[in-house]
């Protein structure tokens, strides 16, 4: 990542922290909260022709978690739902992001 990219990310993080503090103090109203719909984890995985193990490895998840989601023993939390939605629409972007991290 180039220096200007780091600076943009840092500036964005600082702005977000300042907004969170203002919301916590009651000085600012929070924006709309996005709550993704439920996703079909097995369908997302199968769309990419990946086994549970390969899907988990590719996207930094545990195999047990993927299995539990698919067998409805557990449900993805909000962050996981968002990640799964992005994986469904732009899997290569997620892979690129993880490989650059």
The string of DSSP letters for 2-34 reads: -HHHHHHHHHHHHHHHHHHHHHHTTSS---PPP
Q: Model pTM? A: 0.64
Give the start-to-end residue ranges of the domains of the chain.
1-31, 41-100
pLDDT at 5: 80
42 contacts: CB under 8 Å, gap ≥ 6: 70
Rounded CA separation 44/23 (Å): 36
CATH topology of domain 41-100: 434 Repressor (Amino-terminal Domain) (1.10.260)
pLDDT at 34: 66
Q: What's the whole-number mean pLDDT along residues 11-26?
A: 87
pLDDT in tens, 30-80: 877 666 678 999 999 999 999 999 999 999 999 999 999 999 999 999 889
């Amino acid at each position: 990542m180039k220096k200007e990219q780091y600076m943009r990310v840092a500036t964005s993080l600082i702005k977000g922290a300042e907004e969170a503090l203002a919301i916590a103090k009651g000085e600012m109203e929070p924006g709309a909260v996005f709550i993704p719909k439920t996703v079909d984890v097995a369908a997302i995985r199968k769309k990419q022709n990946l086994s549970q193990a390969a899907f988990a490895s590719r996207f930094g998840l545990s195999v047990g978690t993927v299995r539990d989601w698919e067998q409805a023993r557990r449900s993805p939390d909000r962050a996981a739902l968002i990640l799964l939605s992005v994986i469904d629409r732009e899997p290569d972007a997620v892979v690129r992001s993880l490989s650059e991290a």
